[in-house]
């Protein structure tokens, strides 16, 4: 089973949605965590738009990347273009991708939904590529 880390700036929106999708779509295929360059809180907008499609991320926590060790992961995905800001040892995993998705924080739920749907597509593709 591949071990996947989704990372973003604050681990509040995009990385949280990606973790929720990966847990749902990647059951028995991957293990998954998410983190941020800094920890904050799970954005209420992310919780709302994920619950609209039956995925509950309400109990997920916002964690700092520094709480984890890069050697514990095979795949690292940056969702915000922050890959250039990651410590170098996080860039040497088996798979590293930088998705550069729009930050929905502070925007209306329509933007959250658009980003959510983009994340679902990318997470689905990632899981298929790891099979």
| Residue 113, token pair as written in the block | 């939904």
Kindly compute the dihedral angle of the four CA atoms of residues 45, 64, 10, 89, in this order, to the nearest 10 degrees: -130
**Residue 13 annotated to the active site:** no
> Rounded to whole angstroms, how far apart are CA atoms 50 and 54?
7
Following DSSP, what letter does each residue of 71-103 receive, concatenated? GG-SEEEESSSGGGGS-GGGTTSSEEEE-----
Q: Which of 5, 80, 82, 127 is catalytic?
A: 80
Catalytic residue among 4, 5, 8, 119: 8
Which residues are designated catalytic? 8, 80
């Amino acid at each position: 089973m591949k071990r996947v880390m989704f990372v973003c700036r604050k681990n509040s929106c995009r990385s949280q949605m990606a973790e929720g999708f990966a847990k749902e779509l990647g059951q028995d295929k991957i293990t998954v965590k998410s983190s941020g360059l800094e920890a904050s809180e799970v954005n209420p907008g992310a919780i709302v738009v994920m619950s609209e499609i039956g995925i509950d991320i309400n109990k997920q926590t916002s964690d700092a990347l520094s709480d984890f060790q890069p050697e514990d992961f095979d795949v690292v995905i940056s969702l915000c273009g922050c890959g250039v800001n990651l410590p170098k040892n996080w860039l040497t995993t088996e798979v590293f991708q930088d998705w550069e998705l729009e930050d929905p924080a502070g925007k209306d739920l329509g933007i959250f939904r658009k980003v959510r749907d983009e994340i679902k597509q990318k997470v689905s593709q990632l899981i298929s590529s790891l099979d």
